[in-house]
Amino acid sequence: MEKKTIGILGGMGPLATADLYRKIVEHTRAAGDNGHVRVFIDSNCAIPDRTAAILRGGEDPVPEMLSALRNLEKCGADCVIMPCNTAHFFLPRLREATDTPILSMPEITAARCAERYPGRRACLLATRGTLEAGVYDAALRGAGVDFLLPGETARDELMRLIYEVVKASRPLAPEKENWSALLEGLRSRGADYFILGCTELPILADTLLCPGPFVDPTLELAKAAIRFCGYETTD
């Protein structure tokens, strides 16, 4: 099978973009440098905030997203992936503008949840934009995944952790107690496991090491892209 290439439409945020690329490298079965996927990255940090656009009529992020997409097309990317869950609200508009396949993080994640935790209830941890726009809802229901959404207090805490801690490059260690309390509160509402539905959250979870279990959409997207390109994953 002819090997294909990946284009990462990144910058949303830059650390999440780096995390996705790292996971592609770590989860590709390769004996050396030449066994890895060729990856093109446009980390376009000028893309306007997606949650602000969805909830508050903020600047439309699609023109800058299309700018990055065009760069990836010029590089010859055979598929495109986006390390931003909220950005998938705009996926239909991007797909209309290109013939290059753009893989869907919510659909890939929903399939993994159904496979790994059948009959158990997920809790979707995400930005207000993702939650209130229902970015994951259709994919989860379509895969038969039972799920609950955080309440208002939990949503406020998620937004603080995402925007004021991870995106702001603040130290993560002091947040361990807050992160643990958030998870315990949602577990008491019936959550059996957690979908880390914002690409900043796997960074938090990987660092603070509180009990889950977790499904990491960034990791699932990385593995799907590796397989799309004709390579084997390590698991």
Q: Give the chain's largest Cα–Cα span.
A: 50
Q: Name 48's Cβ contacts closer than 8 Å, sequence gap at least 6.
A: 58, 59, 60, 61, 64
**Whole-angstrom distance, CA of residue 196 vs CA of residue 227:** 22
Which structure tokens are listed for 139?
């994919």
Q: Is the dihedral of CA 27, 87, 11, 155 positive or negative?
A: negative
At residue 2, the pLDDT reads 80
Catalytic residues: 84, 198
Residue type at 205 in one-letter notation: A
Structure tokens at 179: 């992160």
With CA atoms as reference, report the closest residue to 202 among 103, 64, 101, 109.
109
CA distance 40 to 76: 9
The pTM of the full predicted model, rounded to 2 decimals, is 0.95
Q: pLDDT (tens digit, 9 = 90+) per residue, 163-182? A: 999 999 999 999 999 999 99
Residue ranges and CATH numbers for the domains of the chain are: 6-104+219-228 (3.40.50.1860), 106-216 (3.40.50.1860)
CA angle 106, 29, 112 (to 5 degrees): 25
CB 84 within 8 A of CB 11: no
Q: Which residues pair with 146 in a beta bridge?
A: 121
* Beta carbons within 8 Å of 25's beta carbon, 6+ residues apart: 36
Nearest to 196 by CA among 87, 119, 85: 85
| Residues 9 and 68: beta-carbon distance below 8 Å | yes
Asked if 207 and 179 count as a contact pair (C-beta separation under 8 A), the reply is no
- C-alpha closest to that of 60 among 31, 94, 29, 36: 94
β-bridge pairing 193-196 and 214-215: parallel
Residue ranges in the chain whose pLDDT is less than 70: 1
Q: Do 54 and 135 contact (CB within 8 A), yes or no?
A: no
